[in-house]
Chain A
Amino acid sequence: MAIITVDGQTFDVQEGHNLLQACLTHKLDLPYFCWHPAMGSVGACRQCAVIQYQDEDDERGRLVMACMTLAVDGTRISIEAGQAKEFRASVIEWLMENHPHDCPVCEEGGECHLQDMTVMTGHTTRRYRGQKRTFRNQYLGPFIGHEMNRCITCFRCVRYYHDYAGGDDLQAFGSRTRMFFGRESDGVLENEFAGNLVEVCPTGVFTDKPFSQTYTRKWDLQSAPSICPGCAVGCNTLPGARYGLLKRVHNRYHSDVNGYFLCDRGRFGSHFVNADARIRRAGVRAEDGVFEEIAIEDASVRLSEVLGQGDVIGIGSPRASLEANFALKSLVGEDNFVAGVADNENRLNELMVSIYRESGAHIPTLTDVEAADAVLVLGEDVLNTAPRVALALRQSVRNLSLEMATNAGIPEWQDAGVRGHAQDALNPLFIASIAPTRIDDIAADTLHGTPDVLAEAGFAIAHQIDSAFVAVELFNDVNNFVDAAVKALSEAKRPLIVSGTGCGSAALMQAAANIAWALKGRGGEAALLLTGQEANSTGVTLLGADLDLGSALRKLSTGDVKNVIVLENDLYRRAPAASVDAALDKADNVIVLDVLETPTIERATMVLPAAAYAESTGTFVNYEGRAQRFYQVFEADGATRPAWRYLTDAAKLAGRNDLRWDHVDEVVRACAGTDNLKGIQDVAPTADYRGRANLRIPRETHRASGRTAMHAHLNVHEPKTTVDEETPFSYSMEGLNGDQPGSLIPYVWSPGWNSNQSIFKFQQEVAGSLQGGEVGVRLLDVSANGTGLQNRFRDPPETDSGSTTADGMRLLPLYSIFGSDELSGFSPPIIERSSGPQLVLNPGEAHQLGLTVGGGVKSPGLGSFEVCVSSEMPRGYAGIVLGMRGSINVLPQDAVELMPDPSLKPKRPLDVIARGH
């Protein structure tokens, strides 16, 4: 701790922080632009100027940039000194020379950091008489709009996109007063985290393109804390809605999970909530096979009648809330409940939980991932399956740079200094994957092969670290990778192993566990990150299901059980189409509760419209076993209700007394009765929570244009607002947003800070934990002693010699951040950004099979794909990008025949539409 004096007041500040961090930590209003809490200081904008005094007697002081000055004990500064204020006002005046006066039509208006700083510094009168410079904007793809004239040259965009996120197609061009930030030529921004530019840019240069299309001011957005449904990371989000539409998703700061950044699947995938394919009404299939709308009440009655007919199979879902899954499980009974995951994946999910349970290894948060000093990724293509992890890995490799800088006396936040000094020094990251990944550029070494080959390498690594673990024979080229990884992991202070269920291989996850256990056994630290594939994969696994999907489908197809309830799930993504068909053909009642029209809906006898995540309240459990609550952001249109409510209503009608829950808190309380899930009661306060002055927390800002305005074209009377029984939030601007627990922050705003930069007012210290406590409860924090674990996984896979092309090709699972995920696959910007179904194989084999790159390939029963090649694909194998809409999500075990499909017109990737500037 250091003590500094700011305008006569003393403050305790963190040793090693700079003065800007110190001032912001104490909630002082000191303007800035180029500094960013996650990216450090460069001293470009000169906005954070303060006066620093040498000692008590120094009355003149010296102007310094707070962001570039170390806060040492005894520092005396002034924010208020005339000289400092004059300089800061001038910085704004200089920036405004060229900044357009377009606030009324600018999307940033009302949440613009530049606007805030302009007001804060008091610059009002224009004295500059020259013309403003203008630029041509670029097409940057379906996610990001570009309006370069608004640029204030703070360099945040390139520093984020290039330096932080590792994108190499956005840069700063030119110099002096004509700096241009964009691509070399028009085209899609390739980086998977481009969307954060929207929040990183302090003005309206980079805008959320889908949001622009149905734009609403920030102050008019109704919002609530939410969790991204896109993958198992569970990033905290702030969806904003108006007029019954989900307008956009912004990052919700979480110091241990997503920090300041989301991936583009999460940000732009949310528009499935507004998709045309949304189910808005209940319906039953009539004689002629066409759906007829029925009232919700009637649907409940029918559902209760089905319940009266004996056994019903209930198929849950890893994309539905824990509450909905729990309600279904309670309704159909333990014996009839299926987790709703493909059988192999379900086993892997269970394996994941058991490894976590028994593992002495630490389950890392993303902050822990960023802190790792040697990493082995074993199999999982995290960029495409748990994207935010990949961004964290990009930070982890920089620890060596930071260490070198620290040794040279350069503070970590002095970003340019660190990079200049350490150049490109990186911590070791080893990536073993089926095909090349988009983070290979930061890898010390990569290994590509079938999951079995990768698993063998993993077993070998564990064995080399500790010979008590089972040994395997290896090929030469694998040996080098293994040796290097062993050395790096053994020497590391904070080694990390990353794996998951994505490769469909238990051996891989076992190998990962062995390595972590081996490292741990040597008395060191080791973190093990295993990820499932969906937002609630861990949740449904912890909830537990006695029946597996294959058996359930068999029970239906044999007629053992006649009725099935499918909760927010497309069975065709979970099992081979033939077995699903056989089951559903035979069933009397196929009752589907879902958000979107999936192929399963086509086979339903009754459909109930389920509320999407942003329209309901519930809990997801992320890869680390962290249960996190998402809240209803807005009231869904029409009949739509949270799925659990249909189930409890029907239960009541059926005379069941055990599901008498009217309220999400009651479901949560009941659910906490499950052994594994005790902690979920503590995830967030119950609906009766009230903040200061006994007020609710408002979903709308106090600046919101009145309710009257929203419906003025229909009626000028102010409509009554819904009273929210379920949550501590109000559906209005009434209430207080400020001192509640971290899990209950519906939007960020603070006086003078209309932009998202206001988040620092909610943090204990800059970039630290939220004042109200961090979000979520980790359900898996069990520390095992970890001894004797070397005997747990002793069966490394036996790799086959590879099949030959003549026998057909074996298939391997690949993923795409844009398309593999079911929900975001319905979001128009994601659809635009994603390619169609693709199959990747070795160029030599493609040639042998008469396939041309970019042409079509088909396989009986699997459909058609675009042909892609990679020389890294093992011979005899083809990778299929799973989960793309209209394509397959479960791979057949056997080899398949591949043949050209000249009729397929592959979806052209988005690319350059114009060149030059």
Chain B
Amino acid sequence: MSELDLIQTLSHEEIQAIEIEIAHLPDRASAAIDALLIVQEHRGWVSDESLDAIARLLEMSPADLDSIATFYNLIYRKPVGRHVIMVCDSVSCYVMGCDKLCRQMEDKLGVKMGQTTPDDRFTLLPIVCLGACDRAPVMQIDEELIGPVAGDQLDQVLGRFE
């Protein structure tokens, strides 16, 4: 990939944001996770093309970067919907009925956990304890924490995310 391809694959904004992270760190490769998150913020997920471009920017091989990317559950190596719904399934939420909440969400969206609605609006994912156990059962849609969630509020809640 040439310099030009790199610029075409990653935006100036992304490259700049990544360079800022690199500045805090002893070497470029140390910014791997930051860089993946930054690109994901801009594009929703990390495609193979993005991954190759980031690897180049960080002076590491695509395999080395993908090894890192595939370790972390918050890096999406497949496309996700416009909104990502994470329903906590850890123990406090379990005690407070998250299994039921998960089923309700699946029914409502017509997809299973881990899937994206056909209109690409939502991706439904299970998540580990969100650190809001006093509000169990909780979920997080994009950056918003929502809980406790009762079944009859779901339409209203989802309605806020187009």
Which positions in A face B, CB cutoff 8 Å? 162, 168-175, 180, 183-185, 915-916
Contacts and interface: CB of A to CB of B under 8 A. Distances in A.
B66 A173 contact: yes
A247 B98 CA distance: 59
A171 B60 CA distance: 12
Contacts of B34: none
B51, B60, B64: which has the most chain A beta carbons within 10 Å? B64
A173, A174, A175, A183: which has the most chain B beta carbons within 10 Å? A173
B60, B63, B66: which has the most chain A beta carbons within 10 Å? B63
B70 A168 contact: no
30 contacts: A162-B64, A168-B60, A168-B61, A168-B63, A168-B64, A169-B61, A169-B63, A170-B63, A171-B63, A171-B64, A171-B66, A171-B67, A172-B67, A173-B66, A173-B67, A173-B70, A174-B70, A174-B71, A175-B70, A175-B71, A180-B70, A183-B63, A184-B51, A184-B61, A184-B62, A184-B63, A184-B66, A185-B48, A915-B48, A916-B48
A169, A173, A180, A184: which has the most chain B beta carbons within 10 Å? A184
Contacts of A168: 60-61, 63-64
B67 to A, nearest CB: 4
Contacts of B61: 168-169, 184
Nearest to A176: B71
Interface string B60-84: 1111101100110000000000000
Nearest to A916: B48
Chain B interface secondary structure, helix, strand, loop or mixed? Answer: helix
B10 to A, nearest CB: 18
Contacts of B67: 171-173
Contacts of B66: 171, 173, 184
Contacts of B48: 185, 915-916
B36 to A, nearest CB: 14
Contacts of B63: 168-171, 183-184
A916 B66 CA distance: 12
A173 B61 CA distance: 14
Nearest to A173: B70
B47 to A, nearest CB: 11
A122 B16 CA distance: 58
Nearest to A180: B70
A180 B67 CA distance: 9
Nearest to B69: A173
Contacts of B51: 184
Interface residues of B, number: 11
A169 to B, nearest CB: 5
Nearest to B73: A175
A173 B71 CA distance: 7
Q: Which 7 A-B pairs have the closest CB atoms?
A: A168-B61, A171-B67, A171-B63, A184-B63, A173-B70, A184-B66, A184-B62
Contacts, number: 30
A118 to B, nearest CB: 29
A179 to B, nearest CB: 9
Contacts of B64: 162, 168, 171
B71 to A, nearest CB: 5
A68 B60 CA distance: 30
Contacts of B71: 174-175
A184 B50 CA distance: 13
B127 to A, nearest CB: 16
A916 B78 CA distance: 11
Contacts of A171: 63-64, 66-67
A429 to B, nearest CB: 19
Nearest to A168: B61
Contacts of A180: 70
Nearest to A424: B27
Nearest to B67: A171
A171 B51 CA distance: 15
Contacts of B62: 184
Interface string B36-67: 00000000000010010000000011111011
Contacts of A170: 63
Contacts of A173: 66-67, 70
Interface in B75-129: none
A168 B60 CA distance: 8
A779 B16 CA distance: 61
A184 to B, nearest CB: 4
A386 to B, nearest CB: 26
Nearest to A172: B67
B59 to A, nearest CB: 10
A172 B62 CA distance: 12
A194 to B, nearest CB: 13
Nearest to B26: A423
A916 B47 CA distance: 11
A687 to B, nearest CB: 51
Nearest to B60: A168
Contacts of B60: 168
A370 to B, nearest CB: 24
Contacts of A174: 70-71
A436 to B, nearest CB: 16
B66 to A, nearest CB: 5
Given A174-B71, A175-B71, A915-B48, 4 more contacts: A162-B64, A168-B63, A169-B63, A183-B63
A399 B5 CA distance: 38
B33 to A, nearest CB: 14
A170 B66 CA distance: 10
A168 B64 CA distance: 7
Contacts of A172: 67
B125 to A, nearest CB: 16
Contacts of A175: 70-71
Contacts of A183: 63
A766 B73 CA distance: 41
A169 B63 CA distance: 5
A168 B67 CA distance: 11
A639 B67 CA distance: 54
A174 B66 CA distance: 9
B60, B70, B71: which has the most chain A beta carbons within 10 Å? B70
A916 B71 CA distance: 16
Contacts of A185: 48
A75 B60 CA distance: 43
A170 B71 CA distance: 15
A171 B69 CA distance: 12
A915 B67 CA distance: 16
Nearest to B66: A184
Nearest to B65: A184
A734 B103 CA distance: 69
B28 to A, nearest CB: 12
A173 B77 CA distance: 12
A319 to B, nearest CB: 36
B1 to A, nearest CB: 14
Contacts of A915: 48
A511 B60 CA distance: 36
A396 B51 CA distance: 32
Nearest to A162: B64
B73 to A, nearest CB: 9
Contacts of B70: 173-175, 180
B31 to A, nearest CB: 15
A242 B73 CA distance: 50
A162 B67 CA distance: 12
A579 to B, nearest CB: 45
A180 B70 CA distance: 10
B49 to A, nearest CB: 11
A915 B77 CA distance: 14
B141 to A, nearest CB: 26
Nearest to A915: B48
A185 to B, nearest CB: 7
Contacts of A162: 64
A169 B61 CA distance: 7
A859 B12 CA distance: 46
A916 B49 CA distance: 12
A183 B65 CA distance: 11
A685 to B, nearest CB: 48
Contacts of A916: 48
